[in-house]
Amino acid sequence: MKICCIGAGYVGGPTMAMIAKQCPDIPVHVVDLNQARIDAWNSEELPIYEPGLHEVVKEARGRNLTFSTQVDAAIEDSDMVFISVNTPTKTYGIGAGRAANLEFVEKCARQIARSSSGHKIVVEKSTLPVRTAQAVKRILSSEAKDLTFDVLSNPEFLAEGTAIDDLLDPDRVLIGGESQRAIDALSEIYARWIPRERILTTNLWSSELSKLTANAFLAQRVSSINAISALCEATGADVDEVARAIGTDSRIGPKFLKSSIGFGGSCFQKDILNLVYLCEHFGLPEVAAYWEQVVTMNDHQKQRFSERIVKTMFNTVSDKKIGVWGFAFKKDTNDTRESAAIYICRDLLRERARLTIYDPRVSEKQIRSDLTYACTDANGQISASDQEMIANNVTIARDGYEATSEAHAIAVLTEWNEFKELDFERVYQSMLRPAFLFDGRNLLDHDRLESIGFEVHAIGKSSQRRRAED
């Protein structure tokens, strides 16, 4: 058995590194068109930050794990080909802003057909709309000459920041397919380290749809608790207390009930929009509207947070320095795709605030590029004033202290553990008064901060003044 994986991103890299680690006798070749990304996988500076990933890669790389741009050769030489390329939301034409862009997946299928002979198992690892396997099968059978094949759906459920733990000890592995032999071949690989009872098999369409559904349910929980956070702020209830109270009901469970500035990441929004598009396509407008509301609520939560900052700071943040802690979409990753921080920073900049941003893992280049993208309109244009604002009103700090020195306010946008360890007396002494702190992740010890002198505003909690009035 030889494996090839097309796409060396956040999924292809870690999943293949784990398979190679657990199956030292199976050669695993990860290929990508992006030379810089492949070079990084072959270096000491991996292209993605993920706790524990470096150790796994180091163990297998050079033994049975290879990274290269030799896509055709790798496909030709393998028995099983994983497709792990990006499936972003379409930005043009039919379904723009909703449907998944399947251009990259289709190109992979065509390339597999061209570069293959004999028998291949083609595995969909990317997240795909239900019934994509039908298109993959048609392309393979119409383009390939000396090829027989089986198509499997094997969606990935890892979360960034915990990818290695998730891959080592997943709740389940899902394999959808038609050929029992192909399903068995893939199951055998996972069974090297995952108990058999956690390897679920279904038909192709259930597997494809289960991935979109899992992400929709997880995102829905976040939007549901965020909806309640707004009501908490208005009434004096505390969203963390409400989450604890409902989460102890075993039918609800405690996970994914942490209220925040809104979910980010490359997948939740794109996958729900994809689900919405599919529902509309299959003539189910009420179902589409139901799921779309999860995204609407998420946008509202981000906007609500920046508006709360402005309102609290006497209705203006113009020329005020706001120290921003965190820019990644969650802790323990350098990924900023769809991070709520991007939109909150953009909105504050448009209120003419001066932002000093610190994130332990996100580069200055990435932050500036994300803000530029967020200010770019559908025609690819960015106004001169937005450009100027990003150039002049954004400073990148080297640590949490530098970010908040002489600041009017702090905004906590990512829940990095290191923010909890800061010397808050020192932070407070370096700030202007009143020293506002907006905790968008309910990360910090608010009672302690208030006793130091900070004016704390947290998600789903009413302000100190309101509590005093009560």
Contact set for ligand UGA, span 217-256 (CB under 6 A)? 218, 222, 256
Q: How far is the CB of 175 from ligand UGA (least distance, A)?
A: 16
Q: Is 367 in the site for ligand UGA (CB under 6 A)?
A: no
Site for ligand UGA in 151-190 (CB under 6 A): 156-160
267 is catalytic: yes
Q: What angle do CA 235, 237, 240 make, to 5 degrees?
A: 145
Task: Find the shortest distance in angstroms from Cβ 465 to ligand NAD.
Answer: 40
Cα distance between residue 301 and residue 459, in whole Å: 10
Residue 84 partner contact from ligand NAD, ligand UGA, none using kind-dependent CB cut-offs of 5 to 8 Å: ligand NAD
Identify the bridge partners of residue 455 per DSSP, sorted by sequence position.
436
Shortest reach from residue 318's CB to ligand NAD, in Å? 37
Spot the catalytic one: 4, 23, 267, 375: 267
Q: How many CB atoms lie within 10 A of CB 394?
A: 19
Picked from ligand NAD, ligand UGA, none, the partner binding residue 419 (CB below 5 to 8 A depending on kind) is none
Q: How far is the CB of 265 from ligand UGA (least distance, A)?
A: 3
- Catalytic residue status for 156: yes
Enumerate binding residues for ligand NAD (CB under 6 A).
6-12, 31-34, 37, 71, 84-87, 104, 107-108, 126-127, 156, 158, 160, 266-267
Q: How many residues bind to ligand UGA according to rule CB under 6 A? A: 20
Nearer to ligand NAD, 33 or 422 (CB): 33
Q: Confirm or reject binding of residue 342 to ligand UGA (CB under 6 A).
A: no
Q: Does 215 bind ligand UGA (CB under 6 A)?
A: yes
Between 90 and 330, CB nearer to ligand UGA: 330
Q: Is 370 in the site for ligand UGA (CB under 6 A)?
A: no
Among residues 156, 160, 208, 338, the one annotated as catalytic is: 156
Alpha-carbon gap, residue 21 to 14, rounded angstroms: 10
Q: Which is nearer to ligand NAD, 7 or 177 (CB)?
A: 7
* Contact code string over 260-299 relative to ligand UGA, x by CB under 6 A: x--xxx-xx-------------------------------
Residue 87 binds which one of ligand NAD, ligand UGA, none, with CB within 5 to 8 A depending on kind?
Answer: ligand NAD
Q: Identify which of residues 241 and 406 has a Cβ nearer to ligand UGA in the complex.
A: 241
Assess 459 for contact with ligand UGA (CB under 6 A): no
Contact footprint for ligand UGA (CB under 6 A): 127, 156-160, 215, 218, 222, 256-258, 260, 263-265, 267-268, 329-330
Report, as residue numbers or ranges, the catalytic residues. 156, 211, 267
